[in-house]
Amino acid sequence: MEKKLIVDVCLSPQLYPAYQKEDSIVVVIDVLRATSAMCTAFEFGVEKMIPVATLEEATEYKKNGFLVGAERNGIAIEGFDFGNSPYSYMTENIKGKTVVISTTNGTQAIEAARDAYKVVIGAFTNITSLCDWLLSQNRNVLLLCSGWKNRLNLEDSVFAGAVTERLIKNNAYQTGDAALAALFLYQQTQQSQVKFFHSSSHSKRLAAMGLKKDIKYCFSLDKTQIIPILEGKYLVKME
């Protein structure tokens, strides 16, 4: 029997060492809202992004004249240029610029996976181009969910299931247990979409902040064809 490629899901950055494989492409996922916002920023013409894990680093970049997005617990940090809302990146001001970004969970996940063979950014807003590209690579895939403070979150897990479903369609991949779990989860939520939207704890958190518009945007498919990819310390648009 031909040895198949493996797609698996890591549901928390903290578990990354248990899933790490040298030759895997890692897809970093933070649907609400970091990776959705990154896709938006590239769609609106940003040239490079520098994801940083700590606010100290973000502050240092800000002092040095960079545009900086900084968010913790769903709230944009005062004194920075952007938060974590995709809408904040829908501006001409970022065109051709380098933007630094630090968020509660997403940039920590990028940090965890920094040494992987390739690190790309996934969101519902770029899911089709992402999956088409993954299928063209003939590589093991690890879907790395940013979660919420090392805990699982529903929306990243469901997105991982959606990607898994697209990857296994042509029987090219076998699934790890976590990928299967995410797939079953995704399939179940497809039958009860509304319940799912209201159930996610971070959806509730954002809705309570009046950010329903953000939630709706972040769950929209294919707003862009761009796949951000990590090159050294920079995220750039994959050519």
Residues found near a second copy in the complex (CB under 8 A): 9, 11-12, 14-15, 17-19, 148-154, 157, 175-178, 180-181, 184-185, 187-189, 196, 199-202
Smaller CB separation from a second copy, 19 or 61: 19
Residue 88 corresponds to which tokens in the numbers above? 């904040």
For residue 21, give the nearest of 169, 159, 143 by alpha carbon. 143
Residue 215 Cβ vs a second copy, minimum distance, rounded to whole Å: 15
- Cβ atoms < 10 Å from Cβ of 224: 19
Smaller CB separation from a second copy, 116 or 230: 116
Question: Are 235 and 38 a contacting pair, CB within 8 Å?
Answer: yes
Residue 226 Cβ vs a second copy, minimum distance, rounded to whole Å: 28
Residue 201 Cβ vs a second copy, minimum distance, rounded to whole Å: 5
Residue 213 corresponds to which tokens in the numbers above? 């518009």
Smaller CB separation from a second copy, 43 or 155: 155
Residue 190 Cβ vs a second copy, minimum distance, rounded to whole Å: 10
Smaller CB separation from a second copy, 106 or 228: 106
Residue 15 Cβ vs a second copy, minimum distance, rounded to whole Å: 6
Smaller CB separation from a second copy, 112 or 178: 178
Residue 24 corresponds to which tokens in the numbers above? 């895997």
Smaller CB separation from a second copy, 76 or 180: 180
Residue 184 Cβ vs a second copy, minimum distance, rounded to whole Å: 4
